[in-house]
Amino acid sequence: MAAILPVAAAAMAQKGATIATSSPVIWHFLGYPFEVAGMIAAVFACGAARWWIGAAQSLRREHRWSLDIPVSGIAIAFSVAIVISQRPEPLSGLLYGAGLGMLGEGIFKIAENYLKKAGTVFGIDTDKPGE
Amino acid sequence: MTNTSFAAQAVANGPRTIAQPSFEGMGWLVVINLAFMTIATLVGMMVVIKLAGDAWKHRRLDTWLSPAWIYRALGIIFACGITIRCGAEALTLWGYDARDPVASGMYATVKRLFDPFAVTFGLSGLGLYICSEPGMIEQQRKEPFAIDMWLAWPMIRRMLWLGFATFVAAVGVVSTR
């Protein structure tokens, strides 16, 4: 990685670069390879969406450490996981990240709904039927 | 491979550059374009959402063609134009991939389809400005007082942080792909 000065590296690296002459940078996480460009796009989009939606809400500012940051962490972890498993192009990474960031707390709601459904299927919690 | 559209054929038969060939291989130019188009889209969306919310909140107070309504409508219209134009451009820039000519060509065509709408927004904003300008200037001269420009500072600070993050992300994406 020659990205000590990223701007300079970006300015110099791609002089007439084509697909044949340059290949995307690939990093590894626990042995799984992924494209760094898609990862940066997804994490940026997720963080920006989380932060943008939350920045103006006094409720989330009040519960920053107990609510906002854990949920943001989960959303970012989900985008990282999706990028590693799907290995999307930067644009798709951007959309995945933005979608998950906007979903935010909704991730937990979806999980909860699935749990409720599982409960009705197995007959554990029949007095609270799933959707 | 079947490249049905002309745009897809142009991408498929053109030089296999990483970004659009018109960048002439200047990575820094790609970074600047990518970052600015994305920032403009995000900031434009922020402004549209905020002003639309304000308009809904004060819909009883700011009646049709009142100065406050006109001023807010100007902001909404111009911000819509910027969002559509720069959003379509950001889509083509983010989505360009010589290995996927069909999608790249489609994004380029989508941009062509959206540009007239953006220009329509810009021109209607100008039209509203020109139409309201004489009356508005008259209105604004009635009680001269300085406007506190820093009332919007929290929102501006948010925009600046978003812009900084976007720039960092653009540098990262361009220099690694």
| Secondary structure (H, E, C), B118-166 | HHHHHHHHHHHHHHHHHHHHHHHCCCCCCCCHHHHHHHHHHHHHHHHHH
Higher-pLDDT residue of B67 and B81 is: B81
How many contacts (CB atoms, under 8 Å) link A and B? 102
- In this structure, is residue B98 part of a structural domain? yes
Give residue ranges of A with CB < 8 Å to any B CB.
Answer: 3, 6-7, 9-20, 22, 24-25, 35-37, 40-41, 44, 47-48, 51-52, 55-56, 89-91, 94
Give me B136's structure tokens. Answer: 């508005």
Contact between B161 and A89 using a beta-carbon 8 Å cutoff:
no
Closest CA to B111 of B93, B98, B99, B125: B93
Q: Which residues of B touch A15 (CB under 8 A)?
A: 25-27
Query: Pseudo-torsion of CA A101, A108, A33, A26, nearest 10°?
Result: 10
Residue B5 placed within a domain: no
Looking at chain B, how many residues does it have?
177
Which of helix, strand or coil describes residue A89?
coil
Q: What mean pLDDT is predicted for residues B158-162?
A: 88
E-only strand ranges, A3-125:
26-29, 32-35
- Give the number of domains in chain B: 1
Pairwise CA distance, residues A80 & A86, whole Å: 10
Per residue in A81-112, pLDDT tens? 998 888 888 888 888 988 888 888 788 888 78
Report yes or no: B138 and A2 within 8 Å, Cβ to Cβ.
no
Residue ranges of E strands in B35-117: none
pLDDT range class, residue A128, cuts 50, 70, 90: low
> pLDDT by residue (tens digit) across A28-47?
888 888 888 888 889 998 88
Nearest-CB residue to A13 (from B27, B46, B98)? B27
B33, part of any domain:
yes
Query: What's the CA gap between B114 and A78, in Å, rounded?
Result: 32
A80-114 in b/e form (b: 16+ CB < 10 A) is: bebbbeebbbbbbbbbbbbbbbebbeeeeeeeeee
Q: Say how many C-beta atoms besides its own lie within 10 A of residue B177's C-beta.
A: 22
Distance CA B128, CA A42 (A): 39
The reply to whether B164 falls in a domain is no
Structure tokens at A106: 């909704």
Q: Is B10 on the interface with A (CB under 8 A)?
A: no
Instruction: Please list, in sequence order, all residues whose beta carbon lies within 8 angstroms of the beta carbon of residue B28, skipping any fewer than 6 positions away.
Output: A7, A10, A11
pLDDT above 50: residue A53:
yes
pTM of this prediction exceeds 0.90: no
Amino acid at position B176, single letter: T
The C-alpha atoms of residue B102 and residue B2 are separated, in whole angstroms, by: 9
User: Does B166 sit within 8 Å of A48, measured CB to CB?
Assistant: yes
pLDDT confidence band for A131 (50 / 70 / 90): very low
Give the Cα separation of A59 and B131 in Å (integer).
42
| Residue B144, domain member (yes or no) | no
Are A89 and B24 in contact (CB < 8 Å)? no
Q: Is B15 on the interface with A (CB under 8 A)?
A: yes
Is B113 part of a structural domain of the chain? Answer: yes
Does residue B48 belong to any structural domain of this protein?
Answer: yes
For B76-90, what is the mean pLDDT?
95
Position B33 scores a pLDDT of 92
- E strands in A6-122: 26-29, 32-35
Distance CA(A17)–CA(B24), nearest Å, equals 9
Contact list in B for residue A7 (CB cut-off 8 A) is 28, 31, 171
Which among B100, B162, B173 is the nearest to A52, CB-wise?
B162
CA distance A82 to B68: 46
Task: Give B38-69 pLDDT, tens digit per residue.
Answer: 999 989 998 999 999 999 999 999 888 888 99
Closest-CA residue of B relative to A98 is B42
| B27–chain A Cβ distance below 8 A for any pair | yes
Range of the domain at B84: 20-136
In B, which residues are within 8 Å of A11 by CB distance?
A: 26-28
Q: Is residue B149 part of a domain?
A: no
Considering CB atoms only, which of A18, A41, A51 is closest to B18?
A18
Q: What is the ipTM of this complex?
A: 0.72
Q: What is the pLDDT of residues B4-40, one digit of tens each?
A: 788 888 888 888 888 888 888 788 888 899 999 999 9
* Angle in degrees, CA A4, A9, A10, rounded to 5: 130
